[in-house]
Structure 1
């Protein structure tokens, strides 16, 4: 097999030594003897051992040469060679002798497995050993993660927790030095420039925040924000009840000659009520929450100094407003959270007291994450050019809602969801329905919205129209300022690959950093894979 060795930065040796000191593999100066230095590195990485006897036992499980263990090697006068180090490296990286490499010829495994080559022929100094160890820490194991991440899983950075005040970077990556068990959990309500439920007040949007404890003492964190309409619950039975019948006779489609103006959406406009009057300022939130619906990529970064924010948007439980799938209002409700995190919008501690609270713990640099509908809203937000949004990582995201529910003038169900459409999805994520008292005041108006959507989506013709054009994010890619990572499965029959293909072609020439990762999977997350490896 070959391992894709990606995401590695080449640094000069001076920087490597500084970074090894920062993560406590070196205290002060290097040891005089190269063998002694290697043994010290091994001892620091042997996290299951708290005695010399146990450490020796672990060394006896590792080979230095085909007929000598590492324990015996350290007792001998034999010098450290490149062959010995590479054989040790292969074992630490979890490759299997006689399956992945031959113990008699470890050097040939470097090209066979696609391991990073060392620019060394022998180990003359401990600095050579430190360079090789740095290289090892940034190399991907057989199971995918880099070796330092493997040590992290075993608890290498736990001892850093009590003294951590800011992120710690190694080879360009933030390390897990923040205690994930000491998170601040709080809820705020962001005032959006919307009144989608027409109650005469601007919509307040619930945002759930998880942030490192250090943010209470001056540390300002970068933020990962996931806009998930599913976050506060779904109405599965409601959606099923209004799903459209697809068992209908086929009819001949009438040809229509349309101009571009016939299918170009009208500019968005609305009449807004005044902002709420602020009754006072608060420095602490008055509401918390016990458990969120987590996104695995966000969890990875929580212990690395990032804050995480989840918001379901308009029409969802504990928020104001009404759902309208793919609408401009939906995008505005998404960007309102970003604006608050960037210091450009107001939020309140609850929905009644009008006590304003600022995101003083945010460093005003926000990235959006999410798959499917979640990634779609990240794409939507990016096309507004909203200030503060630095990056989006969108997985299996829709770039035009027409390409999700329609196909070349025909109604086309995504995956196996026959009869689903824009109105059905809006009903499924209107989680305000879960609270009967709250739903009482909005039911009649939402019923009218569903009727309008049903008419505008036009299941009879399947044609592209002004309605669908207003839900086409490709129209606004020129506004994108954030960097983009797109991830999509080539066998995704839910959000079909044409969505990412069209977006990639649209942003190809924009002056932003952009990456696309295509995989053979279906409508799945791949961020929870240990890493991306390529068996041959």
Structure 2
């Protein structure tokens, strides 16, 4: 039998006043409906008060206009669980997770699916949100995105159909629009007080971003985890294409196991015809799927507060989606909060469970219940700059970060000061792996520049860029750029996105026979490595054979320890994108107009690039570095 530990939210040193409608444990529920459900506070947070076992579980289908172009309106399956004790006496706020995965791929690290009784009523809600928050006076609503599970329509890879299907449910919860039950009878959300918070990881969090970017009334907050803010920045990188016809491929995948057979071939064909794979260009197709500054959606529309959560080693939804969303929201004056971990595409429930659930409890209490618990007055940003080492700040990037420009030189160094008038060349290799590209072993298929040892710890905080001037022989080409930390240390592994699932479980909320609140524990997967790629970037090269481009790398926030050195690696194709130039032509980098622009915090005197001894230079030529065992380096 697996070990099960009943976990409760940790105590906080917060003495929050009781919100309006908040009652002590001994107080009775009101006799007339109110918009402020009575809750019990422990250490300033809502605590269990209502019976999960007897909670109302129901399904409605929210009506929308035609979303897939077949002339028929859509019906969006919406599964609801809410406290029975408050039915007809108090209206409650809603925590909502709209997803395409409830019947296709499952949700969470434990891979849970929705389950239903023979009469169609929901018996299992994936994830812990229902188990934990319903006893605290919230409703939980799990929405099947259009074209998936029990909803009609066709999937749209982040386009209007996807977003509008989730938006319609928020509107219905706010008293607008219509819905029907399984018998076809009209249903109103008279139990909802109109305040909704959306949450979810990956595609689910992406839907939250998109719905918020519509400016819909009733949406008070969103918590996007590992989420996309621009589908172009998910599928592309400055014209470089990640994979061909990805939009239609993903749409087919998430439409698995849907209960309403639908011919979506026209929508899939449209995606393939308009995804601009041939050029990698940002077209109207991608502008429709841009929530920061797109055709239909824009950060300036956002009324809800936003709590962003992202992994700084996320190579699925890369950090650009979080960093640019954060920036755009700030420019629009949106209330923001952000967590950045050292893991990859991982939910914070699976890397810092106790701290996360406590924080989320307080966030929803503040944003949806109106409880003044002080979370809005705490530092807005929490960043894991090294394994299990967290820093907080009011802003991000951190206020002390400033841009330092380092210049590559013909001798293989990367230095402050004057730019080198020379060139550095490499032979394009469309099969070059990242492992070989960043190795210290000599390699003709990339150029590599090293700083020499950092004399003091340096914190990189923000988005590095590389100004490049490249001459090529091919009519169309590409460059791949990597910023690398060279030096042995314990790091969060990239295997399994840095998460290791354990055999034990902890329980977060109340359980019933068909829906328990217990989930496998997860810990960081730490590994001693000799190097780490800190940031990657790609760009397609069209037009003139001599091409000037600024490659934007993925944002990061990390401490490079004293004794390590930074490296800049430039190559042609890499395994991150599709090669458009598969020839073995030579690319020449003009060093006079090439530089690494690095956002750093710390003493400039501690960062001493280019100060290599004669022995260092000799070792570089041999492909080794002092104090590092060359045999440990990946080939």
CA distance in 2 between partners of 1:299 and 1:495 (Å): 28
1:221 pairs, out of 76, 87, 92, with: 92
Write out per-residue CA displacement over residues 413-468 of structure 1, whole angstroms, 9 at most, x where no aligned residue.
5xxxxx5711111111224x644xx42xx32xx11211110121122221211111
Report the 3-state secondary structure (helix = DSSP H, G, I; strand = E; otherwise coil) of the residue aligned with 2:48.
coil
1:478 Cα deviation (Å)? 0.5
1:233 equivalent in structure 2: 104
Matched, 1:499 2:321: yes
Matches within 5 A, 1:197-216: 198=70, 200-216=71-87
Q: CA RMSD in A?
A: 2.9
2:24 equivalent in structure 1: 22
2:287 pairs, out of 434, 458, 469, with: 469
CA distance in 2 between partners of 1:307 and 1:362 (Å): 8
1:338 equivalent in structure 2: 170
Tell whether the 8 Å contact from 1:193 to 1:332 is kept in structure 2 after alignment. Answer: no
1:9 equivalent in structure 2: 14
CA distance in 2 between partners of 1:472 and 1:179 (Å): 41
Report the 3-state secondary structure (helix = DSSP H, G, I; strand = E; otherwise coil) of the residue aligned with 1:462.
coil
1:400 Cα deviation (Å)? 0.3
TM-score (norm 2): 0.48
1:423 equivalent in structure 2: 248
Tell whether the 8 Å contact from 1:188 to 1:287 is kept in structure 2 after alignment. Answer: no
1:172 Cα deviation (Å)? 3.4
Report the 3-state secondary structure (helix = DSSP H, G, I; strand = E; otherwise coil) of the residue aligned with 1:365.
strand
CA distance in 2 between partners of 1:373 and 1:186 (Å): 24
1:21 Cα deviation (Å)? 10
More helix by share: 1
Write out per-residue CA displacement over residues 383-403 of structure 1, whole angstroms, 9 at most, x where no aligned residue.
011010000011011000011
Matches within 5 A, 1:55-454: 166-196=38-68, 198=70, 200-234=71-105, 287-292=120-125, 294-350=126-182, 354-412=184-242, 421-431=246-256, 434-435=258-259, 438-439=260-261, 442-443=262-263, 446-454=264-272
CA distance in 2 between partners of 1:434 and 1:402 (Å): 27
Tell whether the 8 Å contact from 1:229 to 1:312 is kept in structure 2 after alignment. Answer: yes
Report the 3-state secondary structure (helix = DSSP H, G, I; strand = E; otherwise coil) of the residue aligned with 2:122.
coil
CA distance in 2 between partners of 1:492 and 1:459 (Å): 23
1:217 Cα deviation (Å)? 3.9
1:531 equivalent in structure 2: 355
Tell whether the 8 Å contact from 2:23 to 2:39 is kept in structure 1 after alignment. Answer: no
CA distance in 2 between partners of 1:216 and 1:300 (Å): 19
Matches within 5 A, 1:480-495: 480-495=302-317
CA distance in 2 between partners of 1:491 and 1:212 (Å): 39
Choose 1 or 2 for highest CA Rg.
Answer: 1
- Structure 1 portions without partners, runs of 5+: 28-164, 236-285, 414-418
CA distance in 1 between partners of 2:94 and 2:275 (Å): 36
1:517 equivalent in structure 2: 339
1:197 Cα deviation (Å)? 5.1
1:230 Cα deviation (Å)? 0.8
Give the 3 Å change call, closer, same or farther, for CA 209–360 of structure 1 in structure 2: same
Q: Which stretches of structure 1, 4 residues or longer, exceed 6 Å deviation after superposition?
A: none
Tell whether the 8 Å contact from 2:81 to 2:140 is kept in structure 1 after alignment. Answer: yes
Aligned length in residues: 323
1:515 Cα deviation (Å)? 0.4
Give the 3 Å change call, closer, same or farther, for CA 298–500 of structure 1 in structure 2: farther
Write out per-residue CA displacement over residues 198-257 of structure 1, whole angstroms, 9 at most, x where no aligned residue.
1x431111101111112324221110010111113259xxxxxxxxxxxxxxxxxxxxxx
Report the 3-state secondary structure (helix = DSSP H, G, I; strand = E; otherwise coil) of the residue aligned with 1:501.
helix
TM-score (norm 1): 0.56
